[in-house]
Amino acid sequence: MADEIQRLDRQWALVSADLNDGRRVHAHNKTFLDATQRVLKERTSDRWTPALGDIARAAGPDIELRVIHVWKNPADPAGRLLRIEGVTTGADRRLIADRFRLQLQEELTRHFRGVEKCVLERCDDDPDSAQAEPEKQRVLFTIVAPVGAPLPTEASTASSQ
């Protein structure tokens, strides 16, 4: 009987080691698959399409958008940092840049969480246009905005119910 117990103990030790290995592999694979699903979901989502359309609409005829950068926000894993560089022209070019910043903030709040503040980081006269007529002078501006996770859309809310 003691031999049988020792044999069963040895088998149990082998089986439990395999079970623990299997659990570790399963946990690793699940983490990998979950990350893959998140990447696929983010790649196929149109989260920026409405925001980019709003950015374009908010930029009036006196605004030329030159660069739009979007980075992951290290302070918010679901968020992004948005940076827009552009040029305004006209007699009220600084006012136009600030008005665009306010419209941008309003539009982004419709699509994303955590849009606390769009900051007009730069608003400088373009030295190349200093000699031009006042209505043709330009201001270079940069707007920076932290943007959180996308707000649920009506379509995504309806499909989850």
Q: Which two tokens stand for residue 139?
A: 């201001």
Does residue 21 surpass a pLDDT of 60? yes
In this predicted structure, what is the pLDDT of residue 42?
Answer: 59
Query: Same structural domain for residues 13 and 83?
Result: no
Query: Same structural domain for residues 70 and 139?
Result: yes
Does residue 158 surpass a pLDDT of 80? no
Kindly give, in sequence order, each residue whose CB lies less than 8 Å from that of residue 117, ignoring residues fewer than 6 positions away.
Answer: 105, 145, 146
In this predicted structure, what is the pLDDT of residue 156?
Answer: 43
Query: Same structural domain for residues 54 and 132?
Result: yes
Which residue type occupies 134? P
3-state SS, residue 139: strand
- Let me know if residue 161 belongs to a domain: no
Higher-confidence position of 158 and 18: 18
63-69 LR contacts (CB < 8 Å, sep 24+): 63/87, 63/88, 63/96, 63/97, 63/100, 64/88, 64/89
- Let me know if residue 156 belongs to a domain: no
Query: Same structural domain for residues 117 and 89?
Result: yes
Is the model's pTM score more than 0.85? no
Query: Same structural domain for residues 12 and 88?
Result: no
Exposed/middle/buried for 144, CB within 10 Å: 0-12, 13-18, 19+? middle
Instruction: Report the alpha-carbon distance of residue 101 to residue 109 in Å, rounded.
Output: 12
Last residue of a domain, one of 27, 44, 61: 44
What is the domain range of residue 21? 1-44
Exposed/middle/buried for 104, CB within 10 Å: 0-12, 13-18, 19+? buried
Phi, psi of 125 (to 5 degrees): -60, 140
- Let me know if residue 98 belongs to a domain: yes
Query: Same structural domain for residues 26 and 70?
Result: no
User: How much is the average pLDDT of 118-137?
Assistant: 84
Query: Same structural domain for residues 18 and 53?
Result: no
Instruction: Give tens-digit pLDDT for 59-74.
Output: 878 889 999 888 888 8
Query: Same structural domain for residues 29 and 62?
Result: no
Tally the domains of the chain: 2
In this predicted structure, what is the pLDDT of residue 160?
Answer: 43
Query: Same structural domain for residues 62 and 29?
Result: no
Query: Same structural domain for residues 76 and 144?
Result: yes
